[in-house]
Structure 1
Amino acid sequence: MARQDYQQQLESLREDVLYMSELVLERLRMSFDALEQKDEGLAEEVIQGDHEINQLYLDLEQDCIDILALQQPVAGDLRFIASTFKIITDLERVGDLATNLAEYSRNAEQDLYPEVDVQGLGDLTHEMVEDAMDAYATDDPDACREISRRDDDIDALCEEASQTVVRDLLEREFDEKSSEDIETLMNDVSRLLLTIRDLERVGDHAVNISARTLYMIESNDELIY
């Protein structure tokens, strides 16, 4: 009976982590919608809901500690617990980034660079996190490696988007603009650059999740370093 209880603890832990990921992904999607629609109500919902993700993280962290202390897992089970401990940290940080994006949407004045496809970048990074958690759910090492490869594309797209913004700033004429206009412009540019940076970080966390999942499955640290 004790062994059955132990296995149930492991299964429940995985299920709870997957639930946390669903909540994080939902908040991330809401933050994208708030950005696109400049919806302050939606942004506020993401911001106020961050405490729920933080509490889930703390609860799951305690579950991991309890299993380690009481069950003393070894081999594959130990890798599962250790990897899960790291993965929930990445999920919590994706939740923080969703909050950041929601904050940016509350203060954005205008869409300065329609050629910068923020929604497209958001879709790609959201999909990476979703696929990383699917790999965790199904023990899929090939998916882990594929997600890591996709991160290079995200990095290149984010770099291109940032360069578009910086290049435009360098080419602008500011002589006829008031100091207030310039300040508004710079605030909007700053928020856009921070948005691009945070989307890139979402992709990085997806890679971290994949790296820990690969280690969990194969005891292989090739994606960690």
Structure 2
Amino acid sequence: MARTDYQQQLEQLRTNVVEMSDAVSRRLQRALEAYERKDDALAAEVIAGDDEINRRYLELERACIELLALQQPVASDLRFVAASFKIITDLERIGDLAVNLGEYTRRAERDRYPDVDIARVGAETVAMVEDATRAYADGDAAATRAIAARDDEIDERLERASRTVVRNLVETEPDDVDAVLEDVSRMLLTIRDIERVGDHAVNVAARTLYMVDDDDGLIY
């Protein structure tokens, strides 16, 4: 294969990874909107759309494998393909977390916890995914460390939210204990899944730093 064609394949992979991330971010944002508005129809749309994300993932996985097997890239090209392979896995998992939010939308009672601002912190994790993807697209190593620092702040806020939910459970005497316990469980799962979105955004940033600078300092 001509060198020009090989470089075009690498650039196409970069473009396709960014497009997959854009699709995942839109899906996650819509899941959060459905959760906030208690919109079962929108939640169902998010859940049904997971097939598209899975399709994109499998196509990109195949493209990465073919580049590794047929082109045997070295040095920076090898890091780029390897990082892209790992990043699409994180993106696919963010898509799964969006599906989870869609499922919670159908059952959770959000009015019980007005102090837990899922919409706001969720939007911040969407922004982290978008910024991590931009760093990948631009090869911006400096941006990757800032994303990791933002995740620490998100984790602290979500930890406080978890404590608020548990404290509410301890301090109230509901008429329907089973219903409240079920709602608490779903809220805690929601908090956990949003935290995981942030973790996956950090993973994208970490792989980008490795790709650009051969630096594995953010990989964990």
Q: TM-score range by the shorter chain?
A: over 0.9
1:117-150 residue CA offsets vs partner (Å, 9 max, x unmatched): 1011101100100000000010001100000111
1:79 match: 79
Give 1:109 deviation, angstroms.
Answer: 3.6
1:2 match: 2
Q: Secondary structure at the match of 2:23?
A: helix
Distance 1:138 1:70 in 2: 26
Q: Secondary structure at the match of 1:111?
A: helix
1:159-208 residue CA offsets vs partner (Å, 9 max, x unmatched): 0000001111111224xx2xxx2221111111111111000000000000
2:218 match: 223
2:40 match: 40
1:22 match: 22
Is it true that 1:209 corresponds to 2:180 in the alignment? no
Distance 2:155 2:109 in 1: 26
Distance 1:71 1:3 in 2: 10
Q: Which runs of 5+ in 1 are unaligned?
A: none
Alignment of 1:171-190 (within 5 A): 171-174=171-174, 177=175, 181-190=176-185
Which residue, 171, 191, 202 being the options, matches 2:186?
191
State the identity %. 61
Distance 1:187 1:60 in 2: 38
| Runs of 4+, deviation exceeding 2 Å | none
Give 1:105 deviation, angstroms.
Answer: 0.3
Q: Which runs of 5+ in 2 are unaligned?
A: none
Distance 1:144 1:185 in 2: 40
Is it true that 1:52 corresponds to 2:52 in the alignment? yes
Is it true that 1:92 corresponds to 2:87 in the alignment? no
2:111 match: 111
Q: TM-score by structure 1 length?
A: 0.96
Q: TM-score by structure 2 length?
A: 0.98
Letter in 2 for 1:2: A
Letter in 1 for 2:74: V
